[in-house]
């Protein structure tokens, strides 16, 4: 009896382990242009301006819901509840998707500040902002699916020649507004990754403005260190954010081709994409190592921070080109 119980428990543990490994597989990159062309062919339309960017947002969100294991962030049963790398990846990609959805709603789809919001984006954007860990009614998956449905309606209306209410304005100022949000997101990730080894930083919160003030007093130097338990979570959150952003920028390269060419900024965007592609290289180590900066062991967080910092610096340069070019 005990032998059968032990064997059964062993089989269950083995199945759980195999499932955990399968569900933790990172989603592959996809061809944003081919996906847009396929979607347009199904509608019997041409991929108009904004079609590729919107379709890429749809594909990224759909991938989070339907990859191996499905959406794991809100699972409360084993083995999902014991996994943290994939939920961190999902959250990073979701944050980038939320930023793009918000920019679609308030900038890309509007000609000016006084113009009306697109009704489909008015539905889609809030749906993406539900708590990513929500599992009861309404569940995160159900709300994200509603967002996808609304985004599909917006995408399809863009290509509908019978109406002109749904628009996507590929202008330099719109692109710059979104890149400003991306800058902040990447800057935060870079700082959190760099803090894996712990460091003392000079407080520069009020630098550059002698009249600046803040709510409460803070020390002139700060001790910053990411908790040992959160290092892998921050790493995979950055990896997920980079994965989503990589696809969004490839879509932007298509929809904003004329704007980028006029500003002579195509090569700058390609360089950003190249840096982000490096963040998706295979991690051969069975765990995220946290060696010191020049120690004997690798520090995967610092390597990721390097790529993200370089991408962020290139985005800052691209923003300058869009403003001054």
Confidence of residue 287 (pLDDT cuts 50, 70, 90): confident
Confidence of residue 92 (pLDDT cuts 50, 70, 90): very high
Q: Cα–Cα distances in Å, from 177 out to 19, 103, 241, 247, 278?
A: 41, 8, 18, 18, 25
Can you give the residue ranges of every domain in the chain? 30-169, 170-201+221-325
248, 57 in Cβ contact below 8 A?
yes
Report angle CA 174, 243, 45 to the nearest 5 degrees: 60
What is the C-alpha separation between 313 and 268, in angstroms, rounded? 10
Q: Cα–Cα distances in Å, from 61 out to 90, 141, 199, 211, 244?
A: 9, 10, 36, 43, 9
316, 265 in Cβ contact below 8 A?
no
Confidence of residue 164 (pLDDT cuts 50, 70, 90): confident
pTM here?
A: 0.89
Lowest mean pLDDT among 147-161, 194-208, 302-316: 194-208
pLDDT at 152 over 60: yes
Report which of residues 194 and 2 the model is more confident about. Answer: 194
Lowest mean pLDDT among 161-170, 204-213, 231-240: 204-213
What proportion of the chain, given as a percentage, has pLDDT over 90?
56
Per-residue pLDDT tens for 193-215? 988 776 655 555 555 555 566 66
What is the C-alpha separation between 97 and 94, in angstroms, rounded? 5
pLDDT at 275 over 90: yes
Confidence of residue 20 (pLDDT cuts 50, 70, 90): low
Residue 210: phi and psi, rounded to 5, are -70, -20
Mean per-residue pLDDT for 47-61? 97
Confidence of residue 230 (pLDDT cuts 50, 70, 90): confident
Instruction: Give pLDDT, residue 82.
Output: 66
Token pair for residue 32? 């944003």
DSSP states of 136-182 as a string? Answer: SSSPHHHHHHHHHHHHHHHHHHHT-TT--SS-----HHHHHHHHHHH
Instruction: Give pLDDT, residue 216.
Output: 66
Report which of residues 52 and 282 the model is more confident about. Answer: 52
pLDDT at 266 over 90: yes
Report which of residues 37 and 25 the model is more confident about. Answer: 37
Beta strand pairing call for 221-224 and 199-202: antiparallel
Instruction: Give pLDDT, residue 115.
Output: 78
Lowest mean pLDDT among 97-111, 186-200, 238-252, 272-286: 186-200
Report which of residues 315 and 323 the model is more confident about. Answer: 315
């Amino acid at each position: 009896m005990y032998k059968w119980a032990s064997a059964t428990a062993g089989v269950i543990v083995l199945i759980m382990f195999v499932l955990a490994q399968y569900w933790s597989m990172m989603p592959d990159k996809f061809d944003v242009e081919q996906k847009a062309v396929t979607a347009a062919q199904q509608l019997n339309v041409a991929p108009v301006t904004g079609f590729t960017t919107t379709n890429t947002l749809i594909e990224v969100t759909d991938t989070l819901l339907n990859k191996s294991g499905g959406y794991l962030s809100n699972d409360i049963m084993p083995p999902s509840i014991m996994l943290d790398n994939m939920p961190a990846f999902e959250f990073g990609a979701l944050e980038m998707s939320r930023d793009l959805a918000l920019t679609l709603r308030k900038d890309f789809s509007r000609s000016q500040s006084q113009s009306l919001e697109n009704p489909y984006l008015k539905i889609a954007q809030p749906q993406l902002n539900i708590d990513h860990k929500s599992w009861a009614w309404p569940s995160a998956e159900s709300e994200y699916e509603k967002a996808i449905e609304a985004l599909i309606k917006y995408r399809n209306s863009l290509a509908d020649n019978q109406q002109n209410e749904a628009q996507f304005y590929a202008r330099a100022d719109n692109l710059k507004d979104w890149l400003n949000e991306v800058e902040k997101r990447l800057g935060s990730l870079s700082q959190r990754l760099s803090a894996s080894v712990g460091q003392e930083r000079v407080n520069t919160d009020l630098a550059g403005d002698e009249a600046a003030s803040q709510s409460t007093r803070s020390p002139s130097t700060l001790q910053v260190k990411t908790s040992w338990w959160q290092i892998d979570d921050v790493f995979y959150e950055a990896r997920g954010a980079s994965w989503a952003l990589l696809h969004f920028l490839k879509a932007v390269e298509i929809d904003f081709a004329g704007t980028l060419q006029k500003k002579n900024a195509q090569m700058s965007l390609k360089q950003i994409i190249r840096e982000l592609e490096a963040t998706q290289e295979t991690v051969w180590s069975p765990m995220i190592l946290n060696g010191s900066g020049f120690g004997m062991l690798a520090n995967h967080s610092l390597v990721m921070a390097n790529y993200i910092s370089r991408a962020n610096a290139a985005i800052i340069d691209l923003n300058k080109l869009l403003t001054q070019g």
